[in-house]
Amino acid sequence: MSVIEIPKEVMDAPNFIGGEWVVGDGEVIDIYSPYSGSIVGRTNIATSKQIDVAIAKAKEAQVVWGQTPIKDRTKVMFNFREILLRDIDKIAQVVSLENGKILSESKAGIMKGIEVLEYAISLQNLDAGAKMEVSRGVFCEYRREALGVVASITPFNFPAMVPMWTIPIAITLGNSYVWKPSEKTPLTATLLGKALAEAGLPAGVLTILNGTADCVNSIIDNADIKAVGFVGSSKIAKLVYARATALGKRALCLGGAKNHIILLPDADPEMAGVGIADSFTGCAGQRCMAASVLLAVGEVDKQIESIIERAKSTSLGDKMGAIITKEQVEFLNGAIKKAEKDGAKILLDGRKATKPEGLGEGFWLGPTILDGVKEDSEASKLELFGPIMSIIRCSNISEALKIENANDYGNAASVFTSSGALAEVVAKNASAGMVGINIGVPVPREPFSFGGINDSKFGHGDITGENSLNFWSHNKKVTTKWQMQNDHNWMS
Ligand code: NAD
């Protein structure tokens, strides 16, 4: 049984240019629902000509928006929040429809986005700058100024939440914002664009351009784009970072992950069972914070039993959603086969899970647990991006940390234990930007921001929170003197 409704009519995701909804002049991309496997939407790629027109309009709009006092800019964000809360069920339906999440996950993603929105709303009070008499009669002050037109490229896996990391902050700081959503999930972008327009955002301050790699490259290459935010796989994050910075632009590009959980014998079996199973099955494993390797230290069979029980009860359709594409299901099935060939034992086989009824074929894989995975195998190293957990057996915590430290990524790492001292060893030594103690998905809350290290992030600073403010703005320093001073020094 599922609460997702597959609409009979195909939905459109046009581009949003200068406040108008415009069909792209490029080819059509079909949008499939992972629930049914059927086409539920379509979008037309924006051509490079349309992209240049859109960015010129964004630039024009920014001149006025950037000069609007932050209190007035914030009013739009207040309205936006009200509209999102009013329409949350409708937006969550569309997120689930095109992404495959269960509805409660889609709603939670929107609420996480609203947390960032609330932080942006508070900037009018928090970000007052500073002023100081630095020499007799000489005053220095900070003045935050917008960059101009900024761009954001987002992935499929959180169609509302990830864009909401940057939309509220970049726009509240006075920038025009050009957004290229994932071509797999552009329908949510249309709803967010409509909500911002209804909230009173002036035409051109938000631009939505649909497309794939060519569209991203045309946006980056446009001389009026001053900064590029990116969230997606490491391979593309690296490419986008290199392209933008080679043109002298600032870029912050968040990449993929392979997150490790260290399970110690003194861990509470119930907490470990729920926390670890929910981490690798939530959003069907398609989140950059999902646990994908369990480093099982010593005798932890009762905790693993508890993880299996919880994962077994995670039924498809109501407790766990679908996989983004048919090709990705095939890739995951292949990865399980390969792991088996490499010597892993399958403790739970998601290929045998029951699909929800009455929705059509859809793209599904149930929770899968592989035991005895070898440290150097694909299941241990590759970001699979599905509900698969690889268990590597370790004899002590140092061995576990060595494996964790050796992985290319650095998004999240967690430990399950009842010892504060051992938890601290992991917190100190894990090679990850976000660490959890008895938490399977250690997503920090605003204003702590979010982000990894190593191949999980290219660029400096944070995507949200206080550290993001200097990314999305200039911090101009103004030094003032109004009177001649008799005891003047080099400054006065
Ligand atoms: P992806 O890298 O395939 O796509 C991301 C965006 O890049 C999309 O908008 C896509 O159209 C665009 N793109 C694709 N190929 C491109 C190219 N050659 N040049 C320029 N742009 C291109 O990622 P995805 O499959 O949509 O999302 C899943 C990935 O995102 C996973 O690796 C996941 O870990 C990662 N992710 C990371 C975070 C984080 O905070 N670190 C958050 C969410 C997702």
Give the residue-averaged pLDDT of 14-34: 97
How far, in Å, is the centroid of ligand 1 from the Cα of 286?
12
Which residues neighbour 119 within 8 Å (Cβ) at sequence distance 6 or greater?
168, 169, 446, 447, 464, 465
Q: What are phi and psi for residue 95, nearest 5 degrees?
A: -60, -50
Higher pLDDT, 213 or 4: 213
C-alpha to C-alpha distance for 341 and 92, rounded to whole angstroms: 40
How far, in Å, is the centroid of ligand 1 from the Cα of 216?
11
Model confidence pLDDT, tens digit, residues 348-358? 999 999 999 88
C-alpha to C-alpha distance for 205 and 216, rounded to whole angstroms: 18
CB count within 10 Å of CB 340 equals: 14
The amino acid at residue 9 is E
Q: Is 233 in the pocket of ligand 1 (CB under 6 A)?
A: yes
Q: 492 pLDDT exceeds 90?
A: no
* Dihedral of the alpha carbons of 433, 161, 167, 169, in degrees to the nearest 10: -50
Model confidence pLDDT, tens digit, residues 469-482? 999 999 999 999 99
DSSP 8-state code for residue 210: -
Domain boundaries, the chain: 11-255+460-476, 259-437
Which residues neighbour 280 within 8 Å (Cβ) at sequence distance 6 or greater?
290, 291, 292, 311, 367, 387, 388, 389, 440
- Name the average pLDDT for the chain: 96
Instruction: State the pLDDT at residue 1.
Output: 44
Model confidence pLDDT, tens digit, residues 180-227? 999 999 999 999 999 999 999 999 999 999 999 999 999 999 999 999
Model confidence pLDDT, tens digit, residues 46-60? 999 999 999 999 999
Residue 247 corresponds to which tokens in the numbers above? 């043109």
128 CB burial (10 A radius; 0-12, 13-18, 19+) = exposed
Model confidence pLDDT, tens digit, residues 107-154? 999 999 999 999 999 999 999 999 999 998 999 999 999 999 999 999
- Output the CA–CA distances (angstroms, integers) from residue 202 to 57, 58, 171, 195, in the order listed: 11, 10, 11, 12
Q: Is 257 in the pocket of ligand 1 (CB under 6 A)?
A: yes
- Output the CA–CA distances (angstroms, integers) from residue 282 to 1, 30, 199, 442, in the order listed: 18, 26, 32, 13
CB count within 10 Å of CB 89 equals: 11
326 CB burial (10 A radius; 0-12, 13-18, 19+) = middle
Q: What are phi and psi for residue 38, nearest 5 degrees?
A: -100, 165
Q: Is 162 in the pocket of ligand 1 (CB under 6 A)?
A: yes
Q: Is 254 in the pocket of ligand 1 (CB under 6 A)?
A: yes
| Position 284 confidence tier, pLDDT thresholds 50, 70, 90 | very high
User: What Rg value do the Cα atoms of the chain yield, rounded?
Assistant: 24
DSSP 8-state code for residue 204: T
List beta partners, residue 178: 151, 207
DSSP, collapsed to helix, strand or coil, labels residue 107 as helix
Q: Which of 98, 152, 183, 236 to mutate to test the pocket of ligand 1 (most atoms within 8 A of CB)?
A: 236
Residue 377 corresponds to which tokens in the numbers above? 């195998």
Q: Which of 45, 152, 156, 219 to mutate to test the pocket of ligand 1 (most atoms within 8 A of CB)?
A: 156
C-alpha to C-alpha distance for 292 and 295, rounded to whole angstroms: 10
Residue 369 corresponds to which tokens in the numbers above? 């647990």
Residue of minimum CA distance from atom 15 in ligand 1: 213
Model confidence pLDDT, tens digit, residues 243-257? 999 999 999 999 999
C-alpha to C-alpha distance for 308 and 269, rounded to whole angstroms: 11
| Position 2 confidence tier, pLDDT thresholds 50, 70, 90 | low
DSSP, collapsed to helix, strand or coil, labels residue 272 as helix
Atom of ligand 1 nearest to the CA of 463: 40
- Output the CA–CA distances (angstroms, integers) from residue 335 to 169, 296, 368, in the order listed: 39, 21, 11
Under CATH, which architecture does the 11-255+460-476 domain have? 3-Layer(aba) Sandwich (3.40)
Model confidence pLDDT, tens digit, residues 341-381? 999 999 999 999 999 988 889 999 999 999 999 999 999 99
Residue 236 corresponds to which tokens in the numbers above? 């593309």
Model confidence pLDDT, tens digit, residues 411-440? 999 999 999 999 999 999 999 999 999 999
288 flagged as catalytic: yes
| Position 158 confidence tier, pLDDT thresholds 50, 70, 90 | very high
Instruction: State the pLDDT at residue 490.
Output: 66
C-alpha to C-alpha distance for 403 and 420, rounded to whole angstroms: 21
C-alpha to C-alpha distance for 105 and 437, rounded to whole angstroms: 22
Q: Is 433 in the pocket of ligand 1 (CB under 6 A)?
A: no
Query: Which alpha helices (DSSP H) does 36-185 contain, by range?
Result: 48-67, 70-86, 88-99, 103-126, 161-172
Residue of minimum CA distance from atom 14 in ligand 1: 213
Instruction: State the pLDDT at residue 360.
Output: 87
Model confidence pLDDT, tens digit, residues 65-97? 999 999 999 999 999 999 999 999 999 999 999
Which residue in 188, 379, 402 sits closest to 280, CA to CA?
A: 379
List beta partners, residue 475: 144
Considering the chain, what percentage of its residues have pLDDT values greater than 90?
94
CB-side exposure of 136: number of CA atoms within 13 Å? 8
Phi-psi region at 465: left, alpha or beta (left = phi > 0; alpha = psi -120 to 50): left
Instruction: State the pLDDT at residue 5.
Output: 84
pTM of the model: 0.97
Q: Is 438 in the pocket of ligand 1 (CB under 6 A)?
A: no
Is the CATH code 3.40.309.10 the one for domain 259-437? yes
The dihedral through the CA atoms of 61, 66, 67, 73 has a sign that is: positive
Q: Is 182 in the pocket of ligand 1 (CB under 6 A)?
A: yes
User: Annotated catalytic residue: which of 215, 253, 283, 288?
Assistant: 288
